[in-house]
Amino acid sequence: MRRLIRRWAVSVSLLAAQAALAQVDFSGEWAPRFHEDQPERVPGPELGDYLGLPINEAARMRANTWSASMMTLPEWQCRPHSADYIWRGPSPVRISQEVNPLTRQVTAIHAEWLRSIDRPIYLDGRPHPPDYAAHTWAGFSTAKWEGDMLTIYTTHLKEGYIRRNGMARSDKATLVEHWMRHGEFLTVVTIVTDPVYLTEPFIRSTDYQLDLHQQIPPYPCEMVQEVERPKGDVPHILPGENTFLNEFPAKHGLPAAAAMGGAETMYPEYRKKLKTMPKASPEAAKQ
Amino acid sequence: MKLRSFTIAARCGLVVVAAATAFAQSGNDEVHALQVRPNVYMLVGAGGNITALVGADGVLLVDTGLARNADKVLAAIRKLSDKPVMYIVNTHFHADHTGGNEKIGATGSFPTGGNVAGDLADVGKGAEIFAHENVLNRMSAAKSGVPVAAQPTETYHTEDLRLSPTFHFGEAVQLIHIPSAHTDGDSLVYFRRADVIATGDIFTPDGYPFIDLESGGNVNGVIAGLNKILDIAFPDFRLEGGTMIVPGHGRLCDIADVAYYRDMVTIVRDRVQDQIKKGKTLEQIKAAKLTLDYDPRYGTVPGSTDRFIEAIYKSLTQKK
């Protein structure tokens, strides 16, 4: 009987070793590449630009009433990007592996960006926490190998954003990622599903390049009094009173309705509809 | 007189039903314990959330859930400690937070001594129950129907009450009164050494706040309470962790979660205030869909959005 168990254990170990051979090592220093969506990702998106976002009415109102001054509140000054958005930010990332010294299996992968926090991604089969557990900026991530591709499932995210102009992503959202390495290039596909603010999954891809000389320094943050305001005051714009929303479509010669996004603005067929829609008036934007 | 007593009893019942509806109580009522600190747990599923401080000599509970779940709460506590429940703190008087007082309290005892113990045979039997004075006033009202054994035994009427670490398992427990918030008897319960705050229903991240106007609640008090939590709490790196927050209902939170909620309540209050200034009626304000952006997150329980808007409107228009 013992011999049988030993054989079984050896077989399992060999299978595990084969699975390990199929894995790709993502370890290293990776620098973001901005050939894709550079204006949105580095200087930042324009106000009222919701193009290509599969959002609902609630998300649109949330962004239309958002004031950037919100970020001056002490409670928000040190907030990092969440796990889904951080790939889009101007932050390099360090990826490392956690290895069980006995089995030499990779039990977790860690991703740590310049402007965010360490994000563990577990490969040891542990379950996700119950729904009453705390949410974090990184969320709780588990992963599995699909050939050379690492597929990650993340829950327990704090509220974040899918665009840095007030376009909220709720704490009910989940995230699926696919990490793919081709030599010195890393491509990450993120798929955000949000029952609160999205009508369809929101899919993006982002590229990073291996950078052997990169160092990620500490990035401390202190909360300070940036603006004098009455205690408890929360900056926001009343519904219907945002005077900046027309600037983006007017500047780019777009219909105002198109700038308000929605799932149909993601698809190529929308170009035909665009031609039939009136463009935003530059005069209206000046008012 | 009978009609009046029925009205009061019915009102108490309605408050419980409304609170339960507002926070979408789970139907299966399974009680689970989530460890927050080495000596602090959050118990969920009993009605309102319960916070348990487990010490070498006994257990301190913040709230006790619904009466029907008292046995399940006791069973959950027995998995954490075999010591008696010595102290109960009630964050407010609603039955989904105080319903287990009688049954759970009866299993406990608290230390006393000196002449008192010799003079009174039953002193020290049953857990000691702390709350703001207004909680006792409401629970002991002639028509409340709440048995004496379920009512607070120790109350305070000042800004705060500090429970001695000598008796409370090495933990400095501070009760902080927030006037006219969810009710008129709300307490935040701050475990200063463990760095945990139990908020009661001032903070309910699963839905819009339920503001019990008939029991002295007011939206501005809720906002003041949320800002008080933000004042006390101290985040760890990048606004995460640090002080942990056990809400009245919903998941375990930290300062960022409270900030999101404070922002939402303040913004909706401001929108309603603006409409009132423009001369709009309550019905016009409800029809304006001022919470369209927050409804899929906080207004999922039918009727909760209208109830929230109405509570804000009445809070802002009631005569002082």
Closest to B248 in 3D by CA, of B72, B8, B34, B23: B23
- Final residue of a domain: which of A210, A225, A256? A210
Cβ <8 Å between B252 and A197: no
pLDDT tens for residues B57-98?
999 999 999 999 999 999 999 999 999 999 999 999 999 999
Residue B311 falls within a domain, yes or no? no
Our measurement of the distance from residue B74's CA atom to the centroid of its chain's CA atoms, rounded to an integer in Å, reads 19
Residue A236 falls within a domain, yes or no? no
- Final residue of a domain: which of A210, A236, A264? A210
Residue A150 falls within a domain, yes or no? yes
Our measurement of the distance from residue B140's CA atom to the centroid of its chain's CA atoms, rounded to an integer in Å, reads 18
Are residues A251 and A201 part of one domain? no
* Residue A159 CA: distances (Å) to CA of A117, B250, B261, B268, B309: 16, 15, 11, 18, 23
Q: What is the pLDDT at residue B239?
A: 87
Q: What is the pLDDT at residue B13?
A: 44
Cβ <8 Å between B32 and A132: yes
pLDDT band at B4 (very low <50, low <70, confident <90, very high): very low
pLDDT tens for residues B94-147?
999 999 999 999 998 777 666 665 565 566 678 999 999 999 999 999 788 999
Helix (H), strand (E) at residue A169:
strand A167-169
Cβ <8 Å between A172 and B297: yes
Closest residue of A to B292, CA-based? A58
Q: What is the pLDDT at residue B237?
A: 86
How many domains does chain B fold into?
1
Q: What is the pLDDT at residue A249?
A: 96
* Beta-strand pair A160-163/B173-178: unpaired
pLDDT at A19 over 90: no
Are residues A205 and A137 part of one domain? yes
State whether residue B259 sits within 8 Å of chain A by CB.
Answer: yes
Q: Kindly report the length of chain A.
A: 287
Q: How far is the alpha carbon of A45 from chain B, nearest alpha carbon, in Å?
A: 21
Residue A240 falls within a domain, yes or no? no
Closest residue of A to B205, CA-based? A171
B230 neighbourhood in chain A, CB within 8 Å: 75
Residue A11 falls within a domain, yes or no? no
Query: What CATH number does residue A36 fall under?
Result: 2.40.128.20
Cβ <8 Å between A130 and B34: yes
Domain that holds residue A277: 247-286
Closest to B41 in 3D by CA, of B68, B67, B60: B60
Cβ <8 Å between A196 and B296: yes
pLDDT at B176 over 70: yes
Query: What CATH number does residue B66 fall under?
Result: 3.60.15.10
Cβ <8 Å between A133 and B244: no
Q: How far is the alpha carbon of A78 from chain B, nearest alpha carbon, in Å?
A: 5
Tell me what the pLDDT averaged over chain A comes to: 91
Distance CA A206, CA B8 (A): 61
pLDDT band at B17 (very low <50, low <70, confident <90, very high): very low
Are residues A32 and A94 part of one domain? yes
pLDDT tens for residues A49-75?
999 999 999 999 999 999 999 999 999
Residue A16 falls within a domain, yes or no? no
pLDDT at B188 over 80: yes
Which residues numbered 208-237 in A keep a CB inside 8 Å of some CB on B?
221, 231-234, 236
User: At a CB cut-off of 8 Å and minimum separation 6, what does B164 contact?
Assistant: none
State whether residue A65 sits within 8 Å of chain B by CB.
Answer: yes
Are residues A256 and A197 part of one domain? no
How many domains does chain A fold into?
2
* Long-range contacts from B52-55, C-beta under 8 angstroms, 24+ separation: B52/B77, B52/B80, B53/B168, B53/B169, B53/B171, B53/B173, B53/B191, B53/B194, B54/B80, B54/B81, B54/B83, B54/B169, B55/B83, B55/B168, B55/B169, B55/B170, B55/B171
Closest residue of B to A236, CA-based? B267
Percent of chain A with pLDDT over 70: 90
Q: What are phi and psi of A264, to 5 degrees?
A: -65, -25
Closest residue of A to B246, CA-based? A134
Are residues A133 and A202 part of one domain? yes
With beta carbons less than 8 A apart as the criterion, state whether A87 and A196 touch.
Answer: no
Q: How far is the alpha carbon of B253 from chain A, nearest alpha carbon, in Å?
A: 5
pLDDT at A14 over 60: no
State whether residue B32 sits within 8 Å of chain A by CB.
Answer: yes
What's the average model confidence in pLDDT over A95-107?
Answer: 95
